[in-house]
Amino acid sequence: MSTSVFLAILVTSLATFSSRFLGAISSQGIKETSKLFKWFNCLAYSTLAALIARTIIFPVGVLSDASYLSRVTVVLFCLLIFFISKRNFVYPTVISAIMMAVLSNYF
């Protein structure tokens, strides 16, 4: 195992674990009925939503090679499928992969 890759993995895991561990430590005195808990709950949902939007609109990795139009088309169509299928998670997820693979051929 080369040193640079090994160190990069260690640094990545340290940066990730620190947020998790600090969260576990600082949540010790927080009650689930408190206002602070409700605020953190809102922060968590909002941060996740921001991450999802960023992943789709400003992606990194292989998805950045797909056109903006194809990504938006897949998202809107899959949300439509989600509501039509009475909030089933599986159909839109499977369809998104097939649709993205096909659309990236043409757009």
Partner 1 sequence: MINKEFFFKGFKSILAPDSPALALGCCFIAIGALLKNLGFNIQESIFSTMLTYALPGSLVMAESLLVGASLLNIFLAVWFVNARLYPMAVSLFPLMMHKSQPKWKYYFSCHFIAVSAWLIMKSNYKSIDKKHRIDFWIGIGCATWTTAVIGTFIGFYASDYLDKNMMMGLAILNPIYFLCMMVGAMKTIQITTAVILGLILGPIFYFLSPEWSILLGGLVGGTIAYFIGELNVN
Q: Does 84 bind partner 1 (CB under 8 A)?
A: no
Q: Does 76 bind partner 1 (CB under 8 A)?
A: no
Question: Shortest distance, CB of residue 69 to partner 1, whole angstroms?
Answer: 14
Q: Does 63 bind partner 1 (CB under 8 A)?
A: yes
Q: Does 79 bind partner 1 (CB under 8 A)?
A: yes
Task: Return the closest-CA partner of residue 82 out of 98, 96, 61.
Answer: 96
CA trace torsion 89, 91, 93, 98 (10° rounding): 180
Q: How many chain residues interact with partner 1 (CB under 8 A)? A: 81
- Applying CB under 8 A, among 69, 72, 84, 98 the residue interacting with partner 1 is 98
Question: Shortest distance, CB of residue 64 to partner 1, whole angstroms?
Answer: 9
Q: Does 104 bind partner 1 (CB under 8 A)?
A: yes
Note whether 77 and 95 are within 8 A (CB).
yes
- The CA-atom distances, in angstroms, between 54 and each of 57, 71, 103 are 5, 12, 20
Element (H, E) at 89: none
State which of positions 22-41 bind partner 1 (CB under 8 A).
22-28, 30-32, 35, 37-41
Tokens of 8: 């990069």
